[in-house]
Every structure is written in C-alpha cells, then in structure tokens.
Amino acid sequence: MSHLFTPLYLPSQRGGITLPNRIVVAPMCQYQAQDGCATDWHLMHWGSLLNSGAAMFTIEATAVLPEGRITPNCLGLWDARTEAAMAEHLRRARALAPSTAVCIQLAHAGRKASSAVPWQGGQLLSPAQGGWQTVGPSAVPHLPSETPPQALTPDGLRDIVAAFVAAAQRADHLGVDAIELHCAHGYLLHQFLSPLANQRSDAYGGSFENRCRFPLEVFAAVRAAYRGVLGVRLSATDWVDGAWDLPQSVALAQQLKTLGCDFIHVSSGGVSPQQKIALGTLYQVPFARAIRQATGMVTTSVGLITDPHQAEAIVQAGDADLVALARAFLYQPRWGWQAAAALQGTVQAHPAYWRCLPREAQTVFGKVSVNQR
C-alpha cells in the first residue's frame, strides 16, 4: 500500500480533521485580488485545485492588514468587506469539492510589503507608484537601495497581534479546516527571527529568546482565539552564515509545540539577498526530517518535489508526514490523480470527471470509468 495515500489525523482543540492522503497544495500567491478582495480568478483557481486529488488545499498568503500585503494585488482578510468577498468565492468553489480540506495562510509582509507583482519586477513601490510605508522589526531595508521600513513600536506590535487574531476569527467564520501562520520567506514574523533583519535592542531583539518573542506572542494569541488545526510555515535556515539556522528552528518548533502548534510546514530562505541556496531535488527535505525527529511534530516538506515516487519516498522514510507542492500543481492541476495512478492510490473527484481516465488508470477514483453514452 502506498504511504502517500494513507490517511493522517490532524488533532485540534475541537476534534481535528482526517486527511485521506498526505498531499497538500501549498499556498501560492496569485496577485489577482482587488483591494484585498477575492475575485473570480480565485473562484477559478480554488475550484480547480480543490479537485486536484490533494487532501488539503492552502489558500495563498492572506494579509491581516492592508499594509501587510506583499503587493497591492494581494489577498486580504482584515475587514467585513474582504471577509464577505472570500466567503462568497470560497463557498462556491467548495460546493463542487466538499471533501477537500481547506487551510488558509495568514501573513504580514513587513519590510517586503509594498512591492510590484513579480512580472513587473517585484521591486519596492514608492507611494507615487501605489506603494506605502513599510514596517519591520528594525529600520533595515531588504535591499540596500530600498527605503527602510519603520521600526515597529510597542503599540504597533500589539496592533499586529490583534490583526492576526481578528483574521483568524474571520477565517473561522469562513469555515476553514486549518490555519497556517506565515513565519517564512523573509516576511514579518521571519524578519523578527533573523538577526539579518532584526537589530532591535529591546526585549524583541538580540538573543534567540528575544528574537522569537514576537512570533511566539502572535502564535499564542491566535491559539487562544482559534480552536481548529493551527500550524506554522517556517524558514528553517536563512542560507547565510551566522544568521537563522536549523538548530534555532528546531528550538523554536519545540516552543511552538508546547504552545499547541499542530504542524510545521518547513521551507527556507527569503530574508536576505545574500542567501546562497543549495538548490536541488528534495533540497529542503532534510530540514523537515530534522524538525520531525527532534520534536515529534507533524511536519510538511516542500520544495522541488515534482514526481509521485519522490513524494512516496519522503513519507515512507519518515522524513515528513505531509508533502506539499506548489508550482507542480499550477503546471498540472490534477497532479494528485497522476500520483494515485502511479502509486495505486485512490482520490476523490467530481463524477463529471470520472470518464476522463486512461484505461490503465481506471481505478484512480475507486470506481470503474464511466463509458460515454
């Protein structure tokens, strides 16, 4: 029996969820929102990937405040208007794939906010270009040529904690099955962890304990307000000598587990242009393995995983409990079906699709393919 197609139970304070397989669609920014609101693009995108064969689909990085968006076109969940737009589009998408779990990634971009979309260069936008003043742990820009962010004051820190809590409550109103807090890829919570971005001299900077303080405060506040499955996306290393690294990630994961974290989604990098990433097939799997072995937590591995047999090997070896794919699903929105065919697993799919299978893969849906009348 395929390990990738075995169920996994994710416990929570209110009963948890059972995933029918170990495949997750990772969050992928689409840059198609209008003033933070979901659009018909999201309806199309979500509807497609909810029928992908993955056990859980993760909504892209969703800003908890307008100034926390990566770009002016990023999705948000900070008021009744953005909540209503997401509720309507998500309701319509989920009606066609009710068995797929939905997770949402809540985020604040910090000093990497106010940027152009990737196909327009991805650089910091000035107010004249539609940008805004960014904030961060310290007045240290991501790139030397950029305008520095404003260092967050104690009041600003409290406002952001409150915004994460409010967004989590809104997500709960939407009926999501899980929430993932974005503490990776150089965005605000990761910026506090990394000494490359965090040069504060108060209780939120300097030592490992101080640099972890704000991300842990955010997590604890959300945990107190949300009883569902709650996890964290973590950059396990900055890929820069002397910066955030795997041993610190393991120590942080242990603290998160104590606070009630249900899973760790393990990624890396993003906080510095000095990073030297050793790209290659399965290059981030060792980080997930180390965190899982040290903490016993449910872990998700991601990064250049494209082949079903690679995903199967990760789960079979105990390197991670879940395998997340992003760009592979954009290229092949039915990747989960292909994995089931390759590994003799089964997936859920709308009956309208049952007739599409090639003869050699007719049991992917657990049924015989329906003939055309």
Across all residues in the chain, what is the average pLDDT? 95
Would you say residue 173 has pLDDT above 80? yes
Structure confidence at residue 68 (pLDDT): 98
Contact 40, 368 (CB under 8 A): no
The pLDDT tens digits for 245-267 are 999 999 999 999 999 999 999 99
pLDDT for the residue numbered 372: 43
Contacts (Cβ under 8 Å, ≥6 apart) of 30 = 41, 42, 45, 60, 75
Domains in the chain, CATH or no CATH each: 8-346 (3.20.20.70)
pLDDT at position 371: 43
Reported pTM:
0.96
- Measured distance CA(175)–CA(348) in Å, rounded: 20
CA 293 to chain centre: 22
How many Cα neighbours within 13 Å face the side chain of 155? 1
Q: Which of 75-79, 85-89, 265-269, 346-350 has the lowest mean pLDDT?
A: 346-350
Question: Between β-strands 263-267 and 150-151, what pairing exists: parallel, antiparallel or unpaired?
Answer: unpaired
- Rounded CA-CA distance 323/24 in Å is 6
Burial, 306: exposed, middle or buried (Cβ in 10 Å; 0-12, 13-18, 19+)? middle
- Predicted confidence at residue 234, as pLDDT, reads 98
Which helix (H) or strand (E) is 259 found in, with range? helix 246-259
For the cut 60, the answer to whether the pLDDT of residue 45 exceeds it is yes
Q: What is the pLDDT of residue 108?
A: 99
Whether 367 has a pLDDT exceeding 60, the answer reads: no
Q: What is the pLDDT of residues 90-108, one digit of tens each?
A: 999 999 888 999 999 999 9
Give the residue carrying structure tokens 């859980």.
56
The owner of tokens 């942080």 is 252
Mean pLDDT value across residues 339-365: 83
The token duo for 152 is 């967050």
Mean local confidence (pLDDT), 223-233: 98
pLDDT of residue 368: 41
Q: How far is residue 78's CA from residue 84's CA, in Å, rounded to a whole number? A: 11
Buried b (16+ CB within 10 A) or exposed e, 60-94: bbbbbbbbbbbbbbbbbbbeeebbebbbebbeebb
Question: Which DSSP letter does residue 258 get?
Answer: H
Tell me the C-alpha distance between 135 and 278, whole Å.
30
Q: Give the integer Cα–Cα distance in Å for 28 and 3.
A: 25
Whether the pLDDT of residue 42 is over 60: the answer is: yes
DSSP E strands, the chain: 8-10, 17-19, 23-25, 56-63, 101-107, 135-136, 150-151, 178-183, 229-235, 263-267, 298-302, 322-325
pLDDT (0 to 100) of residue 351: 83
Question: CA 213 to CA 224: how far, in whole Å?
Answer: 16
Mean pLDDT of 143-162: 97
Three-state secondary structure call for residue 264: strand
Q: Report helix angle 335-343 to 308-316, nearest 10.
A: 70
Backbone angles phi, psi at 50, to 5 degrees: -70, -15
pLDDT at 369 over 50: no
Compute φ and ψ for 328, nearest 5 degrees: -60, -35
Residues with a known catalytic role: 187
Quote the Cα angle for 304-286-342, to 5°: 50
**Whether the Cβ atoms of residue 171 and residue 187 lie closer than 8 Å to each other:** no
Q: What is the pLDDT of residue 335?
A: 97
Distance CA 226, CA 243 (A): 32
